Amino acid sequence: RFGTAAAAEEPISPSVQVGETQLLINGKFVDAASGKTFPTLDPRTGEVIARVSEGDAEDVDRAVVAARKAFDEGPWPKMTAYERSRILLRFADLIEKHNDEIAALETWDNGKPYEQAAHIEVPMLARLMRYYAGWTDKIHGLIVPADGPHHVQVLHEPIGVVGQIIPWNFPLLMYGWKVGPALACGNTIVLKTAEQTPLSALYVSKLLHEAGLPEGVLNIISGFGPTAGAALAGHMDVDKIAFTGSTDTGKVILELSARSNLKAVTLELGGKSPFIVMDDADIDQAVELAHFALFFNQGQCCCAGSRTFVHERVYDEFVEKSKARALKRVVGDPFRKGVEQGPQIDDEQFKKILRYIKSGVDSGATLVTGGDKLGDKGYYIQPTIFSDVQDDMKIAQEEIFGPVQSIFKFNDLNEVIKRANASQYGLAAGVFTNNLDTANTLTRALRAGTIWVNCFDIFDAAIPFGGYKMSGIGREKGIDSLKNYLQVKAVVTALKNPAW
């Protein structure tokens, strides 16, 4: 129990075990070639949960060899689409069967509330797998009515060996967004997890093999970015790389592709998403949603509504009510019932967020509530709100990735459109209004990959997600995600008898 937060209820005690800690290569859990390991820490205390094998270039190479063999020799790409679908469906059943253990592991390694992991994220992973299981036998090509005496087919083929690099904020969901479409399309995979959160991907990948995935189709490398991650992005025998993380690292990934074999690249990067509250909105609802849009997952969301723009007519009321809501936010041990906010992921992020808070104060924003760490152990931060934030402040421009809400004042629709779009990012936007015309104007004018109107963070498996501008390249989830994992082959055959 911390600071001003209300008391959390009794602890939940799910059974939780570490599970696998080695690399997964060619269907087997193995040590790193170097024999090295690294610790993964509990964000509640900073204590070591387990030591995990540390993959490096040599292990990435072993994994790519296994994935190449599984792609070239099968059985995966040559299996019937129906059989691939059934493996993904069995995997979804196993995820559901082990829901509580998986959720507990995710909370232990990441610090997110157990109730969120158990009721939202693990069920969403199962849902994603069923969604992609449904696609396997619906991916097919076209016959094209080209000019001339030719029979023209367009084939959609798996792209080959796919490299995937994921972040620590949603370890399981990022795994699902990447592995689901790649497998549905018949590719083989080498996936590198984030060094902060290696455990849940190893756990569920074991279940995927129990569900019948052939060896070599999915290889998991735990390890660090500049070593294992860079080796994967720069590998000459990887056909495609999909990355989620910071914009700076996204640029490195593009460079590594360019300097190696020009592998196809998709990127899901940072954001500084506007959340716009018009004066006709239901203010209580808007306050609650803006709070959720920013504070969900400890503020560690790429699409967090981190620029709350509020119409001047309702501004003072909005700030007061947002303060009251933040003071009620229950921060504490994520294994306790009723806790809404756990610790930040690690010491580095914790210190970075505190530096941003100091920068907000120094640049003259009004600190409405919070502004400090919470407790003496682990990486807890008070729910923090700044008002009177100006567009040129650092906290208005850079991704804080923590529980820090910045509230801006506006008085005109055209003005807020310009200011909302004046960002290097374009991942998402929230629009809160009861006026249809205002909603339509905003949704057309805002340059972002997702616009949520009178809602936020709706993540159905069928809805595409991705960024404009420096928030990324390509889309994940939905039909569009399949395009990332397919090659297109045109087959043009001369017709001897064009009459038919």
Positions marked catalytic = 268, 302
Site for ligand NAD in 330-369 (CB under 6 A): 349
Task: Rule CB under 6 A: say whether 246 interacts with ligand NAD.
Answer: yes
Calpha distance 249→236 (Å, rounded): 19
Calpha distance 389→311 (Å, rounded): 14
Q: Binding string to ligand NAD for residues 142 to 171, with x set by CB under 6 A, is what? A: -----------------------xxxxx--
* Cβ(406)–Cβ(308) below 8 Å: yes
Contacting residue, 162, 211, 238, 252, with ligand NAD by CB under 6 A? 252
Q: Binding string to ligand NAD for residues 274 to 313, with x set by CB under 6 A, is what? A: ----------------------------x-----------
Q: How far is CA 151 from CA 124, 155, 171, in A?
A: 43, 13, 46
Contacting residue, 195, 333, 457, 476, with ligand NAD by CB under 6 A? 195
Task: Rule CB under 6 A: say whether 269 interacts with ligand NAD.
Answer: yes
Q: Binding string to ligand NAD for residues 379 to 408, with x set by CB under 6 A, is what? A: --------------------x-x-------
Contacting residue, 23, 183, 194, 293, with ligand NAD by CB under 6 A? 194
Residues 6+ apart with CB under 8 A from 13: 335
Task: Rule CB under 6 A: say whether 370 interacts with ligand NAD.
Answer: no
Closer to ligand NAD at the Cβ: 16 or 125?
125
DSSP letter at 217 equals S
Parallel/antiparallel/unpaired status of strands 264-268 and 468-469 = unpaired
Parallel/antiparallel/unpaired status of strands 28-30 and 23-25 = antiparallel
Task: Rule CB under 6 A: say whether 233 interacts with ligand NAD.
Answer: yes
- Residue 494 φ then ψ, to 5°: -65, 140
Contacting residue, 11, 39, 75, 226, with ligand NAD by CB under 6 A? 226
Least distance between ligand NAD and beta carbon 346 (Å): 9
* Cβ(217)–Cβ(205) below 8 Å: no
Closer to ligand NAD at the Cβ: 44 or 178?
178
* Cβ(67)–Cβ(119) below 8 Å: no
Calpha distance 161→217 (Å, rounded): 9
Closer to ligand NAD at the Cβ: 19 or 167?
167
Closer to ligand NAD at the Cβ: 158 or 229?
229
> Long-range contacts of range 411-415, CB-CB < 8 Å, 24 or more positions apart?
411/311, 411/312, 411/313, 413/278, 413/438, 413/441, 413/442
Task: Rule CB under 6 A: say whether 466 interacts with ligand NAD.
Answer: no
Stretch that binds ligand NAD, among 102-110, 220-228, 317-325, 365-373 (CB under 6 A): 220-228
Identify the bridge partners of residue 242 per DSSP, sorted by sequence position: 164, 266
Site for ligand NAD in 102-121 (CB under 6 A): none
Least distance between ligand NAD and beta carbon 301 (Å): 7
Calpha distance 139→263 (Å, rounded): 22
Closer to ligand NAD at the Cβ: 84 or 307?
307
Calpha distance 276→282 (Å, rounded): 13
Alpha helices in 185-279 (DSSP H): 199-210, 230-233, 247-259
* Cβ(243)–Cβ(219) below 8 Å: no
Task: Rule CB under 6 A: say whether 22 interacts with ligand NAD.
Answer: no
Contacting residue, 171, 180, 270, 299, with ligand NAD by CB under 6 A? 270
Least distance between ligand NAD and beta carbon 303 (Å): 8
Task: Rule CB under 6 A: say whether 249 interacts with ligand NAD.
Answer: yes
Interface with ligand NAD (CB under 6 A): 165-169, 192, 194-195, 224-226, 229-230, 233, 244-246, 249, 252, 268-270, 302, 349, 399, 401
